[in-house]
Amino acid sequence: MAKMKAAMAAVLIMEKEGITQAFGVPGAAINPLYAQLKERGTIAHILARHVEGASHMAEGYTRARPGNIGVCLGTSGPAGTDMITGLYSAQGDSIPILCITGQAPVARLHKEDFQAVDIATIAKPVTKWAVTVLEAAQIPGVFQQAFHLMRSGRPGPVLIDLPFDVQQTEIEFDIDTYEPLPIHRPQATRKQVEKALDMLAQAERPLIVAGGGIINADADKLLVEFAEITGIPVIPTLMGWGSIPDDHPLMAGMCGLQTSHRYGNATMLASDFVIGIGNRWANRHTGSTQVYCAGRKFIHIDIEPTQIGRVFAPDYGIVSDAGAALALLVEVARERKAAGQLPCRKAWAAECLERKTSTDYLRKTNFDAVPMKPQRVYQCMNNAFGRDTTYVTTIGLSQIAAAQFLHVYHPRHWINCGQAGPLGWTVPAALGVCAADPERQVVALSGDYDFQFMIEELAAGAQFKLPYIHVVVNNSYLGLIRQAQRGFSMDYCVQLGFDNVNPDENLPQGYGVDHVKVVEGLGCKAIRVQRQEEMAPAIEQARAWMQEYRVPVVIEVILERVTNIAMGTEIDNVTEFEDLASSSADAPTALAAKMAEAMLD
């Protein structure tokens, strides 16, 4: 046993639990913890420009690699309330992050001290656990429990609030004998898996809906193996995108009202059975359950017991970690295939693949208009960025169109805030991804309003040498809200444009903010693009600047002011505002079609 400050015990436990990186903003009430971080020098720290930014950096850091847990730090009062959005975002998408806040001394908690707020109560609805530690001797147990909870069951965030005097109090603690608590993850039984496969055997046109739980469980290879053994096509959710490569013949497209493919919706509507694994039946994936569920049966496998039956009652539910369930599904399916007991799904898989490779189900991208249409921007991005690109984005028409037109080939290469969708998330999340994996090719994507929300975090990217490419599609509008306002016959309070009194000849009048000047003022590099033929050179320039300066590089693309992106009210009622694919430039690549044909054989 050794005598030490309670804050030092917290730092030592974080080290033992594998923490090597933190994001935050120091302040008076959290300075005791920062003092111990400085003394140890083992946990790197990135100084955010906004405390909410620190929480989103922690999210990006967690999402980038299996096993990561992002840590965000802030002082008392507004620092904690600023991080609530990050906690909500992490909770909605099952992302474990640890938020640590400072607090007024225990004796002052009820005296309305400066920046004293009951952050644990505020954070409770958006965390797995939120606690103010009132006794210094409880800090080791609280931190041990925090890591246990974040990793067990459905992953999620925890907030620990540390009063100033609690951090400073000396306690007896032996880090050498400290061990993390065992992680609890429910596992499917063989009987359950056999019943699921028996039910699947009765289906003629089954699908697998692959959710974010598969990514969290690092089970993408098991998913692909199960799909290939059974011959069942896969519909990934937005959070599960990348769990099967986009060009795999059994990847049948995404389904939904917005972030979906026409062939994905058509395939879902043609199916008669769905097995959902690690998903939560989000409403933008399903639309109404009356349409989504009509004519098909469902099995639902999820790590969280209360998710089973939450949106609709499945025909069979299994509470299990996605990886554990898939391992057993693969094992039993392999046995049945060897015994000749699996149905042949080649005709159904070929039907799904035919939809995917037909121009009848592809949206047009090959526009030559100036200002550019967003569809052409994504075509240019597909041409310029390779299979190992990691995309980071949050919400808006830019994100919806990205999911319709971009391609993802690996897990954790589509890093998207799914449920909460806070504007401003993209810049700090991308920085968190870069901190987790400095050599990864990261491409962030924002509309102009998302970009403006937390643009100041680019300075952290410049200071800490976190290079990535940020594509900003600028129509000087709240595009998604403008499109939604069509239902109210209005276009109200959504225009961002104005005539900038500091004119730049390369910025069209009426587009307002000169993002290039702002970005350069924050210590990064930027380039503006007006035409599609400028995209490839701009991306090459961005890569060169990243290599030379090791800072974020922004490519601002000037879009036409109004473009409506395909979306609808039901999966059988999606409005296509633009023409469908009309040229060879819109067609699937010959390589993808050839690979698909070879793999089906």
Last residue of a domain, one of 110, 143, 177: 177
Q: Is 229 a catalytic residue?
A: no
pLDDT (tens digit per residue) in 316-332: 999 999 999 999 999 99
**Domain match, 436 and 521 both:** yes
DSSP state of 175: G
In a domain, 576, yes or no: no
In a domain, 144, yes or no: yes
Q: Return the bridge partners of 476, or none.
A: none
The residue with greater pLDDT, 233 or 512, is 233
**Domain match, 439 and 337 both:** no
Last residue of a domain, one of 328, 360, 392: 360
pTM for the complete prediction? 0.94
Q: Is 215 a catalytic residue?
A: no
Hey, how many other C-beta atoms are within 10 angstroms of the C-beta on 1?
10
- Residue 209, token pair as written in the block: 């809906």
In a domain, 280, yes or no: yes
Tell me which of 26-35, 138-147, 554-563 is least confident. Answer: 554-563
From the list 51, 223, 234, 558, the catalytic residue is 51
pLDDT of residue 153 exceeding 50, the answer is yes
**Domain match, 313 and 173 both:** no
Cα 19 from Cα 70, distance rounded (Å): 8
**Domain match, 268 and 408 both:** no
For 74, list phi and psi in degrees, rounded to 5. Answer: -160, 165
**Domain match, 260 and 297 both:** yes
In a domain, 223, yes or no: yes
Last residue of a domain, one of 154, 177, 200: 177
CATH of the domain at 33: 3.40.50.970
In a domain, 182, yes or no: no
**Domain match, 224 and 322 both:** yes
The average pLDDT across 240-251 equals 96
First to last CA, the chain: 65
Q: Is 406 a catalytic residue?
A: no
From the list 308, 332, 481, 580, the catalytic residue is 481
**Domain match, 346 and 373 both:** no
Number of independent structural domains in the chain: 3
pLDDT of residue 21 exceeding 60, the answer is yes
**Domain match, 497 and 512 both:** yes
From the list 119, 224, 235, 423, the catalytic residue is 423
The residue with greater pLDDT, 413 or 485, is 413
pLDDT of residue 499 exceeding 50, the answer is yes
**Domain match, 96 and 122 both:** yes
From the list 342, 478, 496, 519, the catalytic residue is 478
From the list 25, 139, 224, 473, the catalytic residue is 25
pLDDT (tens digit per residue) in 98-117: 999 999 999 888 877 877 89
**Domain match, 285 and 407 both:** no
In a domain, 286, yes or no: yes
- Residue 95, token pair as written in the block: 């992302």
Contact 264, 253 (CB under 8 A): yes
In a domain, 53, yes or no: yes
Q: Is 149 a catalytic residue?
A: no
Q: Is 481 a catalytic residue?
A: yes
The residue with greater pLDDT, 584 or 163, is 163
Q: Could you list the residue range(s) of the whole structural domain that residue 113 is in? A: 2-177
**Domain match, 112 and 229 both:** no
Cα 421 from Cα 90, distance rounded (Å): 11
pLDDT (tens digit per residue) in 337-372: 999 999 999 999 999 999 998 888 889 888 888 898
For 522, list phi and psi in degrees, rounded to 5. Answer: -90, 5
- Please report the pLDDT score of residue 564 as a whole number: 84
CATH of the domain at 201: 3.40.50.1220
Burial 491-522 (b: 16+ CB within 10 A, else e): eeebebbeeeeeeeeebbeebbbbbbebbeeb
In a domain, 478, yes or no: yes
pLDDT (tens digit per residue) in 457-490: 999 999 999 999 999 999 887 767 778 888 888 8
Does the N-terminal peptide bond of residue 78 adopt cis geometry, omega within 30 degrees of 0?
no
Cα 19 from Cα 426, distance rounded (Å): 23
**Domain match, 167 and 210 both:** no
